[in-house]
Amino acid sequence: MSSFRKALKSRQKNHHERSQPGFRKHLGLLEKKKDYKLRADDYHKKQNTLAALRKKALEKNPDEFYFKMINSQLQDGVHAPKKAKDEVVEATEEQKKMMRTQDIKYVEMKRVAEAKKIERMKAELHLLDADSKQKNCHTFFVDSKKDVQSFDLACHLKTAPELVDRVYNRPTLETLETKSIQGAVQARSMKTMAKERKHQYKILSQRIDREKKLFVISQKIQTRKDLQDNNKKVKVKKETPNAAAIYKFKAKRKR
């Protein structure tokens, strides 16, 4: 069966569209089917667009209002927006200086507010580590190397071995025996508290970064303002003539 298909395919011929005959060369290029297809598609597209516009015009509500009706005008047969009556007036140097001053005051106000919030959060958190891992080193001094090998940290601190790694709230064995434990004891509640504490530390670090960025922005605005003020002073000095030169000029004119 496959050999029959191959034999059948080999007998097939490629049929090409005929070219323009010689005696019709003066009429130009003969239109092929692909050329007709492009022309027909373009024609139908235009007809569909005209039909859609005609339908939209028939279904239009005569009482409908658009702001473009009063905000546009015809210029050489083309709709164009009307020019604004109140043209934008450029700000003067004094107005720009006032705006820069207001910007500095606003940025400084936000920075002070962030600093106050940071101080409040530091007072509430007491700078405790959320992961219960000590960042600083606590050094203990012993007399000999033998004492170093036999050194027991829990015994030295007089606390339970489970509480050695804690940075805060590390009670002694005497305190644990005499006093009752206050606060969260269950593992689930302690885990929730640790998660909340970690979230608070994250917010604190974000606020510290924001306060630093606001400080940098205020410094940049102040520097730009000072530079522009200095440039203005230099221009005024160059434009203002010297009093001695004016006096000499007047004396020459009198002579």
pLDDT at 252: 53
The conformational region for residue 132 under phi > 0 = left, psi -120 to 50 = alpha, else beta, is left
**229-241: per-residue pLDDT in tens?**
777 666 555 555 5
**151-201: per-residue pLDDT in tens?**
887 887 778 777 777 766 677 877 777 776 665 556 677 778 778 888 888
**110-122: per-residue pLDDT in tens?**
899 999 999 888 8
* Alpha-carbon dihedral angle through residues 207, 208, 213, 216, given to the nearest 10 degrees: 140
**2-51: per-residue pLDDT in tens?**
666 666 666 667 777 788 888 998 988 888 889 999 999 999 999 999 99
In the chain, where the domains are located = 93-130, 139-180
**202-214: per-residue pLDDT in tens?**
898 899 998 998 8
pLDDT beyond 70 at 226: yes
Per-residue pLDDT averaged across 61-83, rounded?
81
**What CA–CA distance (Å, rounded) separates 53 from 33?**
30
Q: Give the DSSP per-residue string, 176-239.
A: HHHS---S--SHHHHHHHHHHHHHHHHHHHHHHHHHHHHHHHHHHHHHHHHHHHHHHHHHHHHH
pLDDT at 130: 46
Write the single-letter amino acid at 129. D
What's the chain's average pLDDT? 77
pLDDT at 189: 74
pLDDT at 4: 66
pLDDT at 67: 82
Write the single-letter amino acid at 54. R
SS3 of 73, please?
strand
